[in-house]
Structure 1
Amino acid sequence: MSEVGMNKRVMLVEDDLDLAVLIQDFLERYEFTVSVVSDGQDAVTRIIAEQPDLVILDIMLPGLSGMEVCRQVRQQYEGFILMQTALDDDIDQMLGLELGADDYVIKQVQPRLLLSRIRALLRRAAPLQFASSEQQSFDYQFGALKIDLTRRMVLLYGQPVELTTAEFELLCLLAKHCGEVVTREDIIQQLRGLEYDGLDRSIDRRISRLRKALQDDAKEQDQVIKTVRGKGYQLCIR
C-alpha cells in the first residue's frame, strides 16, 4: 500500500525563495506535486481557484499575512492548511487554529518532521470505512472513544474527531496512562522534551481545545478529561 500523500497537490506559500526551493525539492522526492506562491494576495486567489490538497502557509508574507490568507480562504477551501510560525508562539498558534488552520509547525522545521505532519493531515481525508469500524481494531478504546495510532484516527460515537497533531499526541499520552494523573511536568517533558518552569500554560490551552473537540464539558461529572487541581490531568472512562 502506498504512503498517504503520494501524488497529492501541495501549495507552498512562502516568500523566502531559497527555503521554498528546499521544501519543494524535498517534497517532490516523495511524489508530491508542489507549487510555490510568494505573495499573500496571490495565495488567496490561487488557493480558491486551484483547491490543492494541502497548503503550507507562512505567517509573514508580503501583500497579506498568512493569518489573513487563512481567514479569507477558509470558507471556500476544503483542503488542509498547515501554518508555519517563526517562533514557538502560542498566541500565533492559537489564532491560526481559530482562523481555520488544521495544524502548525515552527519555521525551519526538519524536513522529515514536516513530511510527517503533512502525511498525518492527509490521512484524515483517506476513506475511513466507518461501516466496518466494528471489525477494526483500535489501540485504545474507552466507551465511545476509540483511538487508532497507526492511522492517527480518533472516533467518538463512530464519528471522526478532527485533531491537530499536537492534540492527537496529547490525547494518546493521556490514553496511555488512562485512569492515572499525568502532571504538567510529565506532559511537557514527553511532548516537548523541555523542563516545566511552573508558568507555562500552553498545556492548559491545548487541553481546552482537546476537550472542545471531544465534546467534553469540563463542568460535568462524567467528563472525559478531568483536571486534578494542583497536579495535572486524568483521562477517565466515560
Structure 2
Amino acid sequence: MKRVLVVDDDPTVSEVVAGYLDRAGFAVDVAADGPTAVARASARPPDLVVLDLMLPGMDGLEVCRRLRAAGPLPVIMLTARGDEEDRVLGLEIGADDYVTKPFSPRELVLRVESVLRRTGAPPAALAEVSQPWLRAGPLALDPTARRATRGGTELALTIREFDLLEYFMRHPGQATSREQLMRRVWGWEFGDLSTVTVHVRRLRGKVEEDPARPRLISTVWGLGYRFDAPSGHETAVGRDR
C-alpha cells in the first residue's frame, strides 16, 4: 500500500483529502505544519507528499526544498489560484505537480495516482525484456530503469523532467507545442502552460552545456520546442555497455 503524507493547516481540507485517498486505497498520514511534515517524512518516508504552500512554522516552499534535498520524493503542491509566482517557484525547486484551490478531491486523487505510476517499478513483462537505451550525442536514457546520463554522469532528474527528456529523445527534430507536451507528457487536456515552460528550463539546466544558449532543446518561436541531436550525431537506440 502506497503511503501519502498530506500537509495542510486547514483540518477540513486535510480530512477531505485524507478520506478520498483512503478510499482510493492509500495509507494516509497528516501533518498541520512544516516542521511536523519534515519530521514525519524523515522518520517514515512516504511514497508521495501532498503539500500546501501556505503553512505555519515553515512555508511549503521550504518544506519542498528540504524534502527534495533529502532524496527523490514526489511532491504535489496545493496552491491558491492567484499564487502563480509561488507555483512557478515550487516547480523550480522540484515539485512534480500542483493543484489549485479550490480543487476537486477526485482530481487530486487522479494526480496522485498519475505521479505514482510514473515513479513505480516497470511491469514484470517490461522488466523481463528491458527496453533499449535512447542515445543522442552526450545523452543516454534507460526507459526501463528510468536513468539518464550526460557524458557518462548520471543526471538527477525529477519524474516530469525524465518523462520530458524521454519524449524529446523519442521525437528528435519534431517541433512540439506546449499544449501537445502537456497532453503527451503530463496527460492533461488543459492546465497552466507555465508548468511546461518551467520544466523545460529546469531540464535545460541539467542537459545543456550552456543553458543560456541551448543546443539540444531549441525554442521554436510561436510554437514550442524541438529536440536537436548534436551535429554529426544521430538519435539512436541500443543496449548500454
How big is the shift at 1:102? 3.8
TM-score, with length taken from structure 2: 0.66
Residue 13 of structure 1: CA displacement? 0.7
Structure 1 gap ranges (5+)? 1-6
Name the CA shift for 1:33/1:134 in 2 (closer, same or farther; >3 Å): closer
Given the superposition, is the C-alpha separation of residues 91 and 54 from structure 1 closer, same or farther in structure 2, using an over 3 Å criterion?
same
1:211 equivalent in alignment to 2:187: no
Identity %: 34
Match of 1:163 in 2: 158
Secondary structure, aligned partner of 1:56: strand
Match of 1:3 in 2: none
Deviation at 1:224, TM superposition (A): 2.7
The answer to whether the 8 A contact 1:51-1:78 is kept is: no
3-state SS, counterpart of residue 14 of structure 2: helix
Q: Which moved more, 1:95-104 or 1:28-37?
A: 95-104
1:104 counterpart (98, 107, 119): 98
Aligned match of 2:111 in 117, 120, 123? 117
**Deviation (angstroms), 1:58:** 0.4
Give me the whole-angstrom Cα distance separating, in 1, the residues matched to 2:59 and 2:82.
Answer: 18
Q: In the superposition, relative to structure 1, how do residues 147 and 126 fare at CA in structure 2: closer, same or farther (>3 Å)?
A: same
**Rounded Cα–Cα distance in structure 2 between residues aligned with 1:104 and 1:34:** 18
CA distance in 1, matches of 2:68, 2:14: 23
Q: State the AA in 2 paired with 1:206.
A: H
Calculate the aligned-residue CA RMSD, in Å: 4.3
**Cα offset, 1:76, TM superposition:** 4.3
Q: Paired residue for 2:15?
A: 21
Number of residue equivalences? 221
Structure with the larger RCO, 1 or 2 (CA within 8 Å, 6+ apart): 2
* Local SS of the residue matching 2:51: strand
Q: What is the CA-CA distance between 1:12 and the residue it aligns to? A: 0.6
**SS of structure 2 residue aligned to 1:79:** coil
The worse-fitting range, judged by mean Cα deviation, of 113-122 and 17-26 is 113-122
Letter of the 1:51 counterpart: P
Q: Unpaired segments of 5 or more residues in structure 2?
A: 231-241
For the 8 Å contact 1:74–1:100, the answer to whether it is kept is yes
Tell me the CA shift for residue 110 of structure 1. Answer: 3.4
Q: What TM-score comes out, normalization by structure 1 length?
A: 0.67
Provide Cα deviations, 1:95-128, integer angstroms capped at 9, x if missing partner: 2244443433323443344234323443455446
Pairs within 5 Å for 1:40-119: 40-76=34-70, 79-87=73-81, 89-119=83-113
